Amino acid sequence: MSKTEKNLPYWEKEEPEVLINKALQIKHYEEGGALQLVMRGRDKAGNSYNKKGVNLRKHILQKEPELLERLACIFTDWYDEYLEEERKQKNEEVKK
């Protein structure tokens, strides 16, 4: 990596993993240690646009492990709730 490339910001050094739906855009920069979460909306013409967002940085969260742990718990709880709902729906389909 050249000296110029070393000095580039993470968003110019690497292509992020990108997930987009109608309500949310997620960009994960693995090497840069960044996770960008952006809410999405639609204007009156029906065009999608990015609204407010937040940029979570790994090096900052690792300095405050209780924040990192809390985020992990929140996301784990949400995912567990999703799995429980999926399980219930599959059980209801089997009963039909």
- In tens, the pLDDT along 14-61 reads 999 999 998 999 999 999 999 999 999 999 999 999 999 999 999 999
Tokens coding 85: 């709902």
Return the domain boundaries, the chain.
Answer: 1-63, 64-96
pLDDT in tens, 55-91: 999 999 999 999 999 999 999 999 999 999 999 998 8
3-state SS, one letter per residue, for 17-74: EEEECCCEEEEEECCCCEEEEEEEEECCCCCEEEEEEEEEEHHHHCCCHHHHHHHHHH
Whether residue 5 has pLDDT greater than 80: no
The pLDDT of residue 58 is 96
The pLDDT of residue 94 is 83
Tokens coding 42: 């639609």
